[in-house]
Amino acid sequence: MKKLIIILTMILPLISNGEDLLENQLKSERFSFSLQVGMGDATGVAIEQIKNGLQDVINKSLDRADYSLAKAAIQALGAIDAWKEANLDLLETAFDQLDKKSRNLFTNMSVLINQANELVTNNLETSRQIVENTNQITESIPGSGKRSFILRYFPSVLSPLIADSVLITFRGVNLEKAQIGVTLPDNTVRKVNIVGPQEVSFWLPISALPIDQSKHQVFELKVNHITRDGNTAIFWPKYRNVSRTILISSLPKQAATFALTGIRSFENEERIIYTADMGRFSGTNTSVEKIANLANGYKWDLRGGVSSHQNFRIVSTGRGEAGRCQEIIWNGSNEHGIIGRARLDRIRQVRFPDVRYSDGYKHCGIEGPIYRFISTTAGLEPISGQLFWGQDEIIELPTDISEFTLSIKSFTGEDKIITNNYSDEFLSVSKERSRLIIRTKIPTDLIK
């Protein structure tokens, strides 16, 4: 049969805007995918290729314990099967004759399959894109018909805090008409309770799973369901047995490990004994006062009040005649300037036959402690530890911390670098003045 090769050049990540998905993807990063379909039964062939590709993704993902990608592919496989059964009349239609929205949805899924199998980008992001594309395929499935389909299930993650059992819910179409059983790892079969046409549920006992809380585990549960077939005999309806695998993940008791570093910004005090020169005092038979000022941000250390005065004295800082450094005047002095007083007499010089007089003089200064604060930064002593589900980790911080870096390595192996308040589906981080609070949040799924 003659084949039509459709070469699609697309950009990733995918844009999720309905019919305009392909047109909106022509941007910067490019990825090529070849899809071969027959001219006659191209749609059926294309869908089988996509299903085979999804099964390949599932197998490879389970081999490398990539739970999120495997679950996304399983969910997509169920949705595509449901679309196929609801659109049997379109399977013989050429793929390029499908409506634009359907072509785009299946083409996007093909690109994502190739992307997942070749590990082109981050698998968690690929998982999210597959789930998003799956949801759009699901929404396009007609609601009428006799077939029943299981399309979604939740929760898919078991908390280590659950001691007894958890209610697992399936969502789909015509589920009240199906006979559904779930085979557990211990080979027991659980029947489901019908909630309505689109929902059934069953209680999963924790004891039925060989859970080891020291590690992240994934369990495969077989779901068998008997449903009305799309083809009905003349007098009796036909039934078929559909088998599906669902993945249930158990969380380890330890949610993550963390390492905290940071920068402290503070004022460091510098204190020294210093002599401030007031310069030359001069005069005749008088007392002269001057102020000893400081520069470079220093202050006289008068923080002790009156008791600190004993730490200061007026001193000679140079030559003089008929003068002396007398005392400190505290009235009017402050941390910015201290008043010093010098006593000055008259200089008498006898030069026969004359006597000459001039001002006495003296160089004086104030000696005492001065201080200033210098802006300083220092590294915070590194802190590391473990995070556990249901337990807040409270880390005491110095009040002068100016920035922090919190490195989180989650149980999934994902690394996060957090430098401010933060929140996602697994944890929240909030900084108060003197502490950092890390709070774990138990998820119901690992992909959103």
Residue 226: burial class (beta carbons within 10 Å; 0-12, 13-18, 19+)? middle
- Give the model's pLDDT for residue 35: 39
Handedness of CA 93, 99, 100, 101 (dihedral sign): negative
- Give the model's pLDDT for residue 68: 80
Q: How far apart are the first and last CA of the chain?
A: 42
User: Nearest-CA neighbor of 11 among 27, 2, 314?
Assistant: 27
Helical (H) or strand (E) element with 112: helix 100-117
Q: What angle do CA 73, 76, 80 make, to 5 degrees?
A: 140
Note whether 166 and 444 are within 8 A (CB): no
Measured distance CA(416)–CA(124) in Å, rounded: 14
Note whether 423 and 439 are within 8 A (CB): no
Q: Is 79 helix (H, G, I), strand (E, B) or coil?
A: helix
Q: Residue 410 forms beta bridges with which residues?
A: 256
Q: Please, where are the H alpha helices in 13-97?
A: 42-63, 67-86
Crossing angle of helices 67-86/42-63, nearest 10°? 160
Assigned token pair, 218:
């994934």
Assigned token pair, 249:
């993940």
Helical (H) or strand (E) element with 133: helix 123-139
Assigned token pair, 217:
């585990």
- Give the model's pLDDT for residue 97: 80
Note whether 250 and 217 are within 8 A (CB): yes
For the chain (length 448 residues), average pLDDT per consecutive 10?
30 33 32 38 80 85 78 84 79 81 85 78 76 82 68 87 90 82 87 87 91 88 77 61 83 95 94 97 97 96 96 97 96 97 92 84 98 95 95 94 94 90 91 92 77
- Give the model's pLDDT for residue 389: 93
Assigned token pair, 108:
């996007």
Torsion of CA 212, 218, 220, 223, to 10 degrees: 100
Measured distance CA(19)–CA(99) in Å, rounded: 9
Measured distance CA(132)–CA(405) in Å, rounded: 33
pTM (2 d.p.): 0.63
Note whether 141 and 171 are within 8 A (CB): no
- Give the model's pLDDT for residue 121: 56
